[in-house]
A and B are shown apart, each in its own frame.
Chain A
Amino acid sequence: MSIAEKNLALFLLGPGNALIGESPYPTITDEHDIIIRIAYVGVCGSDVSFWTKGGIGQKVDPSRPLIMGHEASGTVHEIGSAVSSLKVGDNVAIEPGLPCRRCLPCKGGRYNLCSQMLFAADPPFSHGTLRKYFKLAEDFCYKLPQFLSLEEGVLVEPLAVAVHVCRLAEIGLGQDVVVFGSGTIGLLCAVVSKSMGAQKIIAADVNASRLEFSRQFADTGIYKPETNDTSEDIARKIKKIHNLSKGADTVLEATGIATCIGAGIHVLKKGGTFIQAGLGKPEIQFPITTLSEKEMTMKGSFRYGAGDYELALHLLESKKVPSLSQLISSVSAFENTTEAWERTRKGAGIKNLIRGPQG
C-alpha cells in the first residue's frame, strides 16, 4: 500500500529558470512498478543544454515545468505485487527510459528507438529523476553489487552509453581505436574498448588535463590537436605519432564537433567502423567521398538498449573497467542543483553529482 509522501522536485521552466517545487508522490499503477527513493543524480552535457537553451530540439515551456535529471541511483522504496527481482531497501542503478514494448523497434530488440519512449527529462511531460521519489518498471532497475556505492551507481548510466557505443562498433581483440573527446563518455568508451580487447586506444581532446586524466585512468595514448589543425592534419599526426600506419580499426566520436568528426573519418583505416555518439550541431561539413572510398561503416549510437546495463554492471563487478569513483568531481545538495549545472557548463570536473532531496 502506498503512503502519499512529500515529493520535492527540481523543475526547469526555461533557460536559466529553475525552481524547487512539489511533485505528486508516484502511484503504483502496474504490478511490475517500483518506486525509488533517489540518492544521487548526475549532470550530463544535455542537462547543460537544457539549462542554457531550454532544451535540445523541443524546448521546456514555463507553462509546463519539467523535472530534470536522468542519470540516477537510489534505493527501492515500494514495489508492485509482481516484482520478484528486487526488494525494498535494495540499492539500484536506474535505466531512465520506459519504452512502449509494443512497436516494431521495441519487439525487434531496439527499444532505445521506440517512438513512444518516455525518457526522463524529455519535454513536455516526461519528468526526470531530480525528485525524492521516482517510479519505473522492474526490468529497468538494476541491483547494485555490494561494493558499488550509490554515488558510483550514477555512473552506470554513462557507462551503459559507452557499452552501447562499443557493442555497435563490435570492438574486438587486437583492434586499434581512436576516441575523440575525453569527457565522461569518451573516457568510458576508452575503458570499455579496453575491456573488449582493444590494443591501442588513443584519446584526442583539446584539453590537456583531460588528456592526462585519460592516460592515467584509461591507459590511453593521447593527442592534443593544435589550434589551426585541419581534420586531415589531426588524422595524419595521430597516425604518425602513434604508429597507426594503416589507420585505426575503429573510431568512437564523443564530441559532436565537425573537425573531430572529419579527423575521425580521415584517421580510420579502409573498411573501418565509425560510431557517432557525440551530439553537437545538427548539420556539419562532412568528407563524404572519403566515406565511399574507404568503404567504411558509419553508425549512429543513441542512449542504450537491450543488455547494455547488464554488461556495464558485469564490467564493474568483474573489475574489467577501473572504479568509476575517480570520475566523480563534486556532490552538491539538491538545493544547489543549478550550481552543479553551472560547474559542468564551465567544464569544471568530469562528473558532478547532485544529492537527492533529503527532506
Chain B
Amino acid sequence: MAKADSNLSFILNKPHDVTFEERPKPKIQSPHDVLVAINYTGICGSDVHYWEEGRIGSFILKAPMVLGHESAGTIVEVGSAVKSVKVGDRIALEPGTPCRRCTPCLAGHYNLCPEMRFAASPPIDGTLAGYYTSPEDFCYKLPEHVSLQEGALIEPLAVAVHIVKQAKIKPGQSVVVMGAGPVGLLCCAVAKAFGASTVVSVDIQPARLEFAAAYAATHTFTPERVSAEENAARLLKESGLEGGADAVIDASGAEPSIQTSIHVVRRGGVYVQGGMGKTDITFPIMELCIKEVTAKGSFRYGSGDYKLAVELVATGKVNVKKLITGTVRFEEAEQAFKDVKGGKGIKMLIAGPNEK
C-alpha cells in the first residue's frame, strides 16, 4: 500500500515483467516547469504493446521504464517563471516535450520533432507514478465541472482531434471510421462536433458497434470475410453514401480495413491513417491514383489539439465519461493491463498511488 506523498512507479523491466518501485520524487529542472501529482492514467494499446513485445518499431525497451502517458493530475509545485497555472490547478497533461528549436518545431509541427521526449516511449519514463514534471505549456487547466477522470481521456481525445483535423472535415460531410476502440469512437464524436452529418462506425465486434451507435455514429457496419471492394460497396449502400464518403479514417491498423477504406472514400476524398498495425501491407494503390485520393498519416497531436479537446469536453460537445469502463487502484495496474489486452471494456483508468 503506497504511503502518502508516494512516488510509487509502475515499471516495465522487460516484456511481461513489471514491478512497483518507490522512485525518488522528480524535481523541477526549469523555471517554466511544474510538478504534477498524477491522479488518473488511462491505458492505451501502445502501453499494452510495450508490455507484450517490448518495442514498437524502432522504439525498443533497453532499460526499465515507467509506463503510462494518458494522465490527468494536480499541480503541486510551479517554477519561478510559470504564469498560466498555479498550485492546486487540475490539469490534463500533454505527455511529450519537443525540442522547440528544430525545423518541424519552428514550423508548427512539434509532434514530428526528432528529439521528442515522449512519456513511456523508451527511454523516457511515463506517468504511471505519483509525480511527473512537465513544462507549463503542456498542462491544460480543466474547468471546474470536468472531473480528473475525464481529464485522463483528453489524451486519446486529442489524438482523435488531430486525426479529424488531418481529414479536414467540414460541416455536412460524410465520414467513415474503421475501428470502434477508444480512438475510433472519439473520432466519430469529434467528426460530429466538426459538423459531419453522416458518421459510419465500422468494427467486427458487435458489442463495440452497439456502443458506437448509441455514442456518436449515425450508422454502423460489420464487414464480412469478402473482398475489400465488396465490403466497401455494401457499406456505401447501407449508409446511403452512393459515390463514396468524403473522408475515411482508419483507427484500426488492420490490413483489410485499410484496403476497404480506399474503396469507400469518394473521388477526390481524404483518407487518414491513424491506426497502427502491421508495418507493411498490401495497398490498393491504383484506386488511390484513379480517384485522386489524398492519403495522410496522423501521429499523436500538435498545436491546438489539447486545447480543443478540453473545450469539446467542457462544452459538452464530446462526452468522454461514457468511455470510462472502470477505475482500479494503482496496485492493480498489472491486472488492468491484462484486462485491456483481453478486450475488456473501452477505457480503463488506473488511479495514482496517492489517490484514496
Contacts and interface: CB of A to CB of B under 8 A. Distances in A.
Nearest to A99: B106
B343 interface: no
Interface string B110-148: 100000000000000000000000011100000000000
B318 to A, nearest CB: 21
A305 B106 CA distance: 8
B342 interface: no
Interface stretch (A48-56, A108-116, A178-186, A247-255): A108-116
A137 B109 CA distance: 20
B101 A107 contact: no
Contact of A102 (B101, B135, B307): B135
A103 interface: yes
A32 B99 CA distance: 11
Nearest to A102: B137
The SS class assigned to the B binding surface is: loop
A197 interface: no
A333 interface: no
Given A102-B32, A102-B137, A103-B137, A108 B103 contact: no
Contacts of A102: 32, 100, 135-137
A7 to B, nearest CB: 26
Contacts of B304: 104, 108
Contacts of B101: 32, 101, 137-139
Interface residues of B, number: 18
A109 B137 contact: no
Nearest to A106: B100
Nearest to A111: B106
Interface in A255-297: none
Judged by DSSP, the binding face of A is loop
B110 A107 contact: yes
A306 interface: yes
A107 B103 contact: no
Contact of B108 (A110, A137, A139, A310): A110
B325 interface: no
A305 B107 CA distance: 8
A313 B307 CA distance: 36
B107 A107 contact: no
Contacts of A305: 106
Contacts of B29: none
Given A104-B303, A104-B304, A108-B108, A306 B103 contact: yes
Nearest to A138: B101
Contacts of A307: 103, 106-107
Nearest to B136: A102
Given A101-B100, A101-B101, A102-B100, A139 B106 contact: yes
A109 B201 CA distance: 33
Interface string A104-147: 10111111000000000000000000000000011100000000
Contact of B303 (A32, A107, A139): A107
Interface in A303-348: 305-307, 310
Interface string A26-66: 00000010000000000000000000000000000000000
Contacts of B109: 109
Contacts of A139: 101-102, 106
Given A306-B106, A307-B106, 15 more contacts: A101-B100, A101-B105, A102-B32, A102-B136, A104-B303, A104-B304, A104-B307, A107-B303, A108-B108, A109-B108, A109-B109, A111-B106, A139-B106, A305-B106, A307-B103
16 contacts: A32-B101, A102-B100, A102-B135, A102-B137, A104-B303, A104-B307, A107-B100, A107-B302, A107-B303, A108-B108, A109-B108, A137-B101, A139-B106, A306-B103, A306-B107, A310-B103
* Closest 6 pairs (CB-CB, A-B): A109-B108, A108-B303, A306-B107, A101-B100, A306-B106, A102-B137
